[in-house]
C-alpha cells in the first residue's frame, strides 16, 4: 500500500513540476435515460375524499385512540398465523391488556343492557302496587323553582347531545349505504383495470428487458474511461490533503536541488582531496625514512638523547593516512538512484498485476447477464400465467356480479334496521322536547296537581312517555352500539390502521 501511495504522490509531483498542476480531465456526467414504461390510463380513482363525513371519522378515530392507545400487536398476530398462540401463559395476558379498553366499555354496555330493563320492571311493579308515583297535593319549597330549572336544563342538555348522536348515526348509516351502492361501479372499474394491467404486462416486461442494453452501454462506457473517472474522483477526494503535502514536497525539491549542487561541489573537492592525500602520503613516507635514518645515527645512542629518540621512533606509525573517500561517492550516487527510480521501475508490474483481465472479465459478465435475462424471459411462461389469471379474474367478476344484488338487499335490511333505531330514539327525544316545551309554557306556580292546565298536564305525559320508551328501547339501542363498536373498533385498529401504515404487510413478510 505504501508503494502505491508513494507512486501516486510521485506522479502527481512530477505532473505539477512539468505542467504546473494541470487538472485531470473529467468525463461529462450522464444519467441513464430509460424512457417511459408503457402504461395504461386506469379508471379507478386511487384517492378517496370523505367530504363532510370526514369530521365524524376524525371524532371516532380520536375516541378510538383514547380507548385503544396500544401499538399493533405484531407478536400476537405472528403467533396466531403460526398457530402457536396460547403455548405460553403470557399470551392471553397480552391479548387482554391490548383489548382492555374495549373490554371495559363492553362490560359497561352489557351492564346497561341488563340493568335498564330490570330497573324499568321494578318501577312497573312498584307502580302496580301503588307504592310510587306522584301525589295529589303539592308542597311549595323555597328552592323548588331552582331545582325545577336545574332538572329542565340537565334534561335539555342531555336531549341535545342525544340529538347530535342521532344525527351522526343517521349520517353514518346513509354514508355506508351510499358506499355500498357505489361499490358495484368501483368493482367493475377494478376488474377492468386489472384486465387492462394484464393485457399490458407482456409489453412492459419486454420493454424492461430491452432496457438492459442501455445499462450495459453505460457500464461499458464507464469501464473504457475508468482511468479518467476514477482519477478525477481520487483527485477531488485527496486534493485537500495532498496539495499541502505536495507544496512541502516542492519546497523539499528545491532544497534537494541545492543540496545536489553542494554535493557535486563536495565531490569535486573530494577528488582534489584524494590527489592531495596521495602527495601528502608520499611526502610523509619520505619524511619517515629520513627520520628513521636520523634515529639510527650514533648520536641517538647517547644516554641523554636515547629517551627522546625512542619517543620519536614510537610515534612514526601515526604518520600514515587511513582515510577512504570512495564510500562517500558511492553513497551520493547509489542512494539517489535507488530512491528516485525504484518506484518507476516497479510501475509496469504494479499496473499489470492490478488490472490484469479485470475489464475483459467485467465485459464478459455484462454480456452473460444480458443473455441470461433474455433466456429467462423466454423460459418463463408469462402468457400461460396471464391467461390463467384472466380466467380466474373473469370467474371472480361473475361471482361478484351474481351475489352483489344479495349484498345490496342485505344492506337495505341493515339500513332499514338502523333507521328504525334512529326513529325510536328520535321519538323519545321528541317526547322530551315536547314535555319540556309544554311544561315550561303551561307552568303555573299557583295551580295544584288537580287544577293544572291541559298544556302542563300534556307536558308531563310527554315526559312520562319519553321515560317509558327509554326503558323499553334503550337497552336494544345500547346492545347494537356495543356490538358494532367492539367489532368496528377492532377492525379499525387491527386491520385498517395496520393496512394504512403497512404494518400488516411487515408482519406477513416476517412469517
From the number of C-beta atoms within 10 Å of its C-beta (0-12, 13-18, 19+), residue 329 rates as middle
Residues 6+ apart with CB under 8 A from 125: none
The three grid cell numbers given for residue 402, joined into one nine-digit string? 351474481
Other C-beta atoms closer than 10 Å to the C-beta of 12 total 21
Between CA 109 and CA 116 the distance in angstroms is 11
Contacts of 404 (CB under 8 A, 6+ apart): 183, 184, 187
Contact by Cβ (8 Å): 453, 480: no
Q: What is the pLDDT of residue 75?
A: 79
Given this model, what pLDDT does residue 300 score?
Answer: 67
Cβ 490 vs Cβ 102: under 8 Å: yes
Distances in Å between the alpha carbon of 55 and those of 58, 164, 189?
5, 13, 28
pLDDT at 22: 42
- Between 144-210 and 382-441, two packed helices, what is the crossing angle to 10 degrees? 170
Give the pLDDT means over successive 10-residue stretches in the chain (511 positions).
38 38 46 66 76 84 88 80 76 86 93 89 78 60 79 92 92 90 86 85 78 74 64 61 64 74 77 77 74 67 65 65 56 46 45 59 73 73 82 89 91 93 92 90 72 81 88 88 91 86 78 68
Q: Residue 130: left (phi > 0), alpha (psi -120 to 50), or beta?
A: left
d(CA 297, CA 291): 10
All three cell numbers of 440, joined, read 315550561
pLDDT (0 to 100) of residue 11? 36
Amino acid at each position: 500500500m505504501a508503494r502505491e501511495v508513494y507512486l501516486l504522490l510521485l506522479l502527481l509531483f512530477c505532473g505539477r513540476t512539468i505542467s504546473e498542476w494541470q487538472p485531470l480531465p473529467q468525463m461529462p456526467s450522464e444519467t441513464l435515460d430509460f424512457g417511459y414504461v408503457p402504461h395504461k390510463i386506469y379508471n379507478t380513482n386511487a384517492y378517496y375524499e370523505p367530504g363532510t363525513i370526514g369530521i365524524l371519522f376524525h371524532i371516532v378515530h380520536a375516541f378510538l385512540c383514547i380507548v385503544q392507545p396500544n401499538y399493533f400487536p405484531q407478536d400476537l398476530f405472528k403467533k396466531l398465523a403460526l398457530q402457536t398462540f396460547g403455548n405460553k401463559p403470557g399470551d392471553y395476558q397480552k391479548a387482554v391488556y391490548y383489548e382492555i379498553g374495549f373490554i371495559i366499555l363492553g362490560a359497561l354496555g352489557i351492564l346497561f343492557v341488563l340493568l335498564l330493563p330490570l330497573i324499568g320492571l321494578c318501577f312497573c311493579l312498584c307502580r302496580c302496587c301503588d307504592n310510587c308515583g306522584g301525589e295529589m297535593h303539592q308542597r311549595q319549597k323555597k328552592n323548588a323553582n331552582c331545582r325545577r330549572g336545574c332538572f329542565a336544563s340537565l334534561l335539555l342538555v342531555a336531549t341535545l347531545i342525544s340529538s347530535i348522536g342521532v344525527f351522526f348515526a343517521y349520517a353514518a348509516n346513509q354514508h355506508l349505504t351510499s358506499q355500498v351502492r357505489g361499490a358495484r361501479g368501483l368493482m367493475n372499474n377494478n376488474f377492468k383495470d386489472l384486465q387492462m394491467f394484464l393485457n399490458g404486462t407482456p409489453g412492459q416486461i419486454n420493454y424492461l428487458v430491452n432496457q438492459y442494453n442501455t445499462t450495459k452501454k453505460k457500464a461499458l462506457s464507464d469501464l473504457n474511461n475508468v482511468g479518467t473517472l476514477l482519477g478525477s474522483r481520487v483527485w477531488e477526494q485527496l486534493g485537500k490533503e495532498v496539495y499541502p503535502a505536495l507544496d512541502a514536497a516542492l519546497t523539499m525539491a528545491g532544497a534537494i536541488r541545492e543540496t545536489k549542487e553542494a554535493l557535486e561541489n563536495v565531490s569535486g573537492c573530494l577528488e582534489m582531496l584524494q590527489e592531495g592525500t596521495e602527495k601528502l602520503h608520499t611526502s610523509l613516507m619520505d619524511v619517515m625514512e629520513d627520520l628513521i635514518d636520523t634515529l639510527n645515527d650514533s648520536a641517538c645512542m647517547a644516554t641523554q638523547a636515547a629517551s627522546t629518540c625512542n619517543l620519536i621512533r614510537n610515534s612514526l606509525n601515526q604518520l600514515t593516512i587511513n582515510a577512504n573517500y570512495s564510500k562517500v561517492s558511492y553513497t551520493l550516487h547509489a542512494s539517489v538512484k535507488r530512491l528516485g527510480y525504484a518506484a518507476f521501475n516497479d510501475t509496469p508490474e504494479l499496473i499489470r498485476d492490478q488490472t490484469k483481465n479485470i475489464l475483459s472479465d467485467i465485459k464478459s459478465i455484462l454480456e452473460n447477464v444480458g443473455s441470461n435475462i433474455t433466456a429467462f424471459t423466454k423460459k418463463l411462461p408469462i402468457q400461460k400465467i396471464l391467461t390463467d389469471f384472466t380466467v380466474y379474474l373473469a370467474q371472480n367478476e361473475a361471482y361478484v356480479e351474481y351475489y352483489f344484488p344479495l349484498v345490496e338487499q342485505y344492506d337495505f335490511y341493515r339500513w332499514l334496521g338502523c333507521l328504525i333505531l334512529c326513529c325510536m330514539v328520535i321519538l323519545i327525544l321528541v317526547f322530551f322536547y315536547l314535555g319540556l316545551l309544554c311544561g315550561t309554557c303551561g307552568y303555573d306556580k299557583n295551580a295544584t296537581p288537580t287544577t293544572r292546565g291541559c298544556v302542563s298536564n300534556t307536558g308531563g305525559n310527554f315526559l312520562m312517555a319519553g321515560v317509558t320508551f327509554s326503558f323499553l328501547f334503550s337497552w336494544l339501542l345500547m346492545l347494537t352500539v356495543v356490538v358494532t363498536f367492539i367489532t368496528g373498533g377492532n377492525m379499525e385498529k387491527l386491520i385498517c390502521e395496520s393496512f394504512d401504515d403497512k404494518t400488516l404487510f411487515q408482519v406477513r413478510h416476517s412469517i
